[in-house]
Amino acid sequence: MKRLILASLAAIAGLALVSCAGNGGAIPAPTNTATITIHPDQAVNVIPDELYGQFAEHLGSGIYGGIWVGKNSPIPNTDGYRNDVLEALRELKVPVIRWPGGCFADYYHWEDGIGDNRPTMVNSSWGGTVENNSFGTHEFLNLCEMLGCEPYISGNVGSGSVQELANWVLYMTADGGKWADMRAKNGRKEPWKVKYLGVGNESWGCGGQMTPEYYAGEYRRYAEYCRDYGGNHLFKIASGASDYDYNWTEVLMSGIGQQMNGVGVHYYSTDFSKPSHGSATDFDSDFYYWTVGKSMGIEPVIQKHIAIMDKYDPEGHVKLLIDEWGTWWDVEEGTNPGHLFQQNTMRDAIVASTSFDIFHKYTERINMTNIAQMVNVLQAMLLTQDDKMVKTPTFFVYKMYNTHRRNKYVPAEVKSDLLQKEDGKLAEVHAISSTTSISDAGKLSISVTNVNLDNDVDVTVNLGSNGKAFTAEILNSADIKDYNSFDNPDKVGTAAFSSFTVDGSKLTFKIPAHSIVTFVEK
C-alpha cells in the first residue's frame, strides 16, 4: 500500500518516483494505463482442457464431507456424492482429477478401498484422522465418469510395491483375469478407462525420502509393470521436483527419459520457511503484493525446468505437469491444523488468473496443472460445512477462464505499470496480466486482470482487425479481502461487464482495481 500511495502522490506532483521496493531501483510513477497488442496470426499452441485440472486428496474434508457423504446421509446426495458439489463441479466442466494424494497416496493401499469389508487406517500426514476407506477406487472412478473427466491415479511407491501398483492397474483396466473378476464381483464388469498414472508423489519427501537417482531406478521398475490392457493407454507421470530443485528434473530426464510421458513440478505461493503462512483473510497490501510476486515467480521456475527438458527431449515428447500449485495459508481458526481448511478471497482469485496467464504461454510443454485442491483443502473451488456449500472466488476464475480451453493461445505484448520489482524468488509484478486465445471458428477470448489494489487502469487492446463485438463479465468485490462465507455465500461473484467500447480495431475499457474481466467475441 505504502509504495502505491507514494507512486500516486508522485504522479500528481509530476515527479519521478524513486522507490525502495524490490532491488532498490526506481519504480516509475504509475500511468494507470495499459496496452495489449495481440497477434492472432501467431497463434499455434492449443490450451488443453487438462490445464484446468483439479486435485482431491484424502485430507481433512477434501473427500469425506466435501464430495462423499454416503448414501444414508441427510445431505442431499446421488449414490453418496453430495448433489450441490456435483452440480458445481459439472458447472466447472472439470477435465481431470488427481487422486488419492498427495502425501496420502504413498501410504494408501488400494485393496483397503474395495469390496464390502474395508479396514480403517490412520491418515498419518493429515491430522491423524481415522480413514474408513468408504471412498475408494469404485467411488473415485465412478465420480470421474459422472463428471465426464479423466482420472489421474497417484500410485503408492513410498510404502507400496511394484506388484501392488501393477495389480491396481489390472483391477481398473483389464478385461479378464482374477483382478477383473474381482472388480466384476464388486459391481463393475466393464473396465474403466484410466489415462493418467502417477508413479509416486513427492518421492524426494513424504513419498519416500528418495534421492533422484534412486527414484529414477524405482520409476523404471514400476513403469515397466504398469501396462496397457484392452483399449486403455496409460500416460505415465514421474513424481516431479519441488519448485527450485532443478537437479531432480535433470536426473529424471537423463535417467528415465522417454520411459515417462510426463514429469511433475509442485509450486506453492507461500513461504514454507516461516512458521506461519499468514491469514487467508486478514492481510496487508505488502503481503498481498508479496503473494502475487511469489505466485508469478513460478514463471522462471517453469522456464528452467523446461530448459532442462529441452536439452534431453528437444522434440517435446515428455510433458511437464504442474500437478500441485496454489496458495497455502494458515488454517481457519478452530479447525484441525492437519486439515488445511482455508478461506479464499479475491487475492486467491488474482493468484489463479495470473497463474493461468503464465501457464497458457507454455502449453507446448505443459499439458496439465492440478490446483491444490478441489474441495475444502488449500485453494479450493468449493467449501462445505454440513449441508452448506460456497463457491470461492477461485471457482469463478476457473469458470471464466474455461472459454480459453481448446482455443489456441494468442501471443500478445502487454504494457502496464510496474508495481513491484523482481526480488529473489519474487517475480516482477505489473499492473495488468492477461491471456488471449482464439477458437477454431476464429473467435477471440480475452482475459484481463488488474493486479493493482487501489488504482483502476485504462486498457486499450489492439485487436489487429475491425468489426469485432464482445460480451464480457467481471469478477470483483469492494475489498480484496472479501470472500464467500457460509453466512454470506454470494458476496463475491461475477457480473456482466458492459463498460467497454470497440472502435475500429481498438477495444477500450477501464478495469477496476483488483478485478478480472473476460471478453468473449460474439
Binding site for ligand AHR (CB under 6 A): 57, 101-103, 201-202, 324, 372-373, 378
In this structure, the number of other CB atoms found within 10 A of the CB of residue 496 comes to: 8
Residue 37 C-beta: closest distance to ligand AHR, Å: 38
Does the active-site annotation cover 164?
Answer: no
Which CB, 201 or 394, lies closer to ligand AHR?
Answer: 201
- In sequence order, what are the residues at sequence separation of 6 or more whose Cβ sits closer than 8 angstroms to the Cβ of residue 319? 261, 262, 263, 365, 366, 367, 368
Does the active-site annotation cover 324?
Answer: yes
Cβ atoms of residues 510 and 459 within 8 Å: yes
396: left (phi over 0), alpha (psi -120 to 50) or beta: alpha
Cβ atoms of residues 334 and 379 within 8 Å: no
Q: What pairing do the DSSP bridges indicate for beta strands 235-242 and 196-199?
A: parallel
In this structure, the number of other CB atoms found within 10 A of the CB of residue 75 comes to: 16
Count of residues for the chain?
522
Which CB, 22 or 62, lies closer to ligand AHR?
Answer: 62
> Which residues, in sequence order, are bridge partners of residue 375?
382
End-to-end CA distance of the chain: 38
In this structure, the number of other CB atoms found within 10 A of the CB of residue 441 comes to: 7
Which CB, 103 or 427, lies closer to ligand AHR?
Answer: 103
Cβ atoms of residues 60 and 377 within 8 Å: yes
Q: List strand residue ranges (DSSP E) for 195-234, in order.
A: 196-199
Which CB, 103 or 197, lies closer to ligand AHR?
Answer: 103
Residue 101 C-beta: closest distance to ligand AHR, Å: 5
Residue 248 C-beta: closest distance to ligand AHR, Å: 14
Eight-class DSSP state of 112:
G
Residue 345 C-beta: closest distance to ligand AHR, Å: 19
Cβ atoms of residues 138 and 188 within 8 Å: yes
Residue 105 C-beta: closest distance to ligand AHR, Å: 8
Which CB, 17 or 372, lies closer to ligand AHR?
Answer: 372
Residue 338 C-beta: closest distance to ligand AHR, Å: 11
- In sequence order, what are the residues at sequence separation of 6 or more whose Cβ sits closer than 8 angstroms to the Cβ of residue 142? 79
> Which residues, in sequence order, are bridge partners of residue 268?
326
Instruction: Please report, as a single letter, which amino acid is at residue 303.
Output: Q
Which CB, 305 or 405, lies closer to ligand AHR?
Answer: 305
Which CB, 245 or 364, lies closer to ligand AHR?
Answer: 245
| Set 57, 324, 473, 521: catalytic member | 324
Residue in 345, 351, 350, 346 with CA at minimum distance from that of residue 327: 351
Residue 207 C-beta: closest distance to ligand AHR, Å: 8
The whole-angstrom separation of Cα 339 and Cα 354 is 27
| Set 139, 150, 202, 299: catalytic member | 202
| Catalytic residue IDs | 202, 324
